[in-house]
Amino acid sequence: MKITKILDSGKLSLSFEVFPPKTDTVFESVKTATERIASLAPAYVSVTYGAGGGTSEYTLDIAKNIKDRYKVPTVAHMTCVSSTKETVRAMAEKLRACGIENVLALRGDIPADKSLVKGDYLHADDLIRELRSVDAEFCIGAACYPEVHPESENSVTDIKYLKQKVDAGVDFLTTQMFFDNPLFYSFLYRIREKGILVPVIPGIMPITNAKQIERAKQLSGSYMPHRFEQLVDKFGNDPLAMKQAGIAYATDPIIDLYANGIKHIHVYSMNNPEVAEKIMSNLSDIIGK
């Protein structure tokens, strides 16, 4: 099922993000974790993609397994920073053969060793045009950044390029993680003013251990509210307490987003079924309505 159809249903819903294994040896354990997440019957599951493309088969395997065994729609991520036209077309063909209708089209992070970048595409909009030309029926998503992409000069140029990307053929956007809802509301307001009218799915990352915080800051440069830093100061050294507090903290903005008219939320569940289960359980009387 296409993500746009899910979003059109008007019901409050939730999706989860998982990542594929990097090697064969951990394939089974990752598969089991993603199956547990799929068994919670989220609206969809999205499966990330290694920027270098080396694990692309695993992205397909995990996405296909979830779709076929659990009847949960999937989104396969695809990056283009190191891809050639041939590899993109071959991947698009495989997606079609597997019956995967949804693609999140990304540039990918530029590797520290820039010599590895030898693809035919500079930005995500190039990939989006390519996918559209291969199959007009793909439901194509793209990334957006409420706190501005780290490489952008400012939010004005970032939104200008976002508009260009959406105009290339995007059906929906998913945001980078953020930890302060007003940043999202303000972003939504600014992009709507610039004529970006496709659905925007907020991405929420439950932080359940102290190590994740530095990683999240590094990846997204996200602003961490003082009350969250206080929570980490208090519970960061106690793994069980930090997990419980982190899940509770992530549930709060989800409820606020629903209360403010957002119908669908994407949770960066990072192959952690326990986190996904607890969040689903916290929202059991809210979602599906």
Ligand X SMILES: Cc1cc2nc3c(=O)[nH]c(=O)nc-3n(C[C@H](O)[C@H](O)[C@H](O)COP(=O)(O)OP(=O)(O)OC[C@H]3O[C@@H](n4cnc5c(N)ncnc54)[C@H](O)[C@@H]3O)c2cc1C
Residues that bind ligand X (CB under 6 A): 48-49, 51, 77, 79, 104, 106-109, 123-125, 143, 149, 151-152, 158, 161, 164-165, 174, 176, 203
- In the complex, what is the shortest distance from the CB of residue 75 to ligand X, in angstroms, rounded to a whole number? 10
For the chain, the straight-line distance linking the first and the last C-alpha, in angstroms and rounded, comes to 19
Residue with tokens 């547990």: 36
Measured from the CB of residue 177, what is the shortest distance to ligand X in angstroms? 8
**Is the CB of 156 or the CB of 241 nearer to ligand X?**
156
> Which amino acid appears at position 49 of this protein?
Y
Q: Of 70 and 178, which has the nearer Cβ to ligand X?
A: 178
Query: 145 vs 235, which CB is nearer to ligand X?
Result: 145
Distance CA 201, CA 112 (A): 29
Euclidean distance between CA atoms 217 and 225, whole angstroms? 12
Ramachandran assignment for 261, one of left (phi > 0), alpha (psi -120 to 50 degrees), beta (any other):
left
- Amino acid identity, position 137: E
Shortest spacing between CB 153 and ligand X, in angstroms:
8
Q: How many CB atoms lie within 10 A of CB 218?
A: 10
Q: Kindly state the DSSP code that residue 173 receives in the 8-state scheme.
A: E
> d(Cα 178, Cα 32) in Å, to the nearest integer?
28
Among residues 94 and 244, whose Cβ is nearest to ligand X? 94
d(CA 78, CA 31): 19
Q: How many other C-beta atoms lie within 10 A of the C-beta of residue 185?
A: 17
Phi, psi of 14 (to 5 degrees): -140, 145
Helices (H), 71-117: 85-98
Cα torsion angle, 168, 204, 48, 98, sign: negative
Of 108 and 169, the one with the shorter C-beta distance to ligand X is 108
Pairing verdict, β 44-47 and 74-79:
parallel
Active site residues: 17
Shortest Å, Cβ 250 to ligand X = 16
Q: How far is the CB of 168 from ligand X (least distance, A)?
A: 9
Pick the closer one to ligand X by CB: 121 or 235: 121
Contacts of 288 (CB under 8 A, 6+ apart): 11, 12, 13
CB of 200 to ligand X, least distance (A): 11
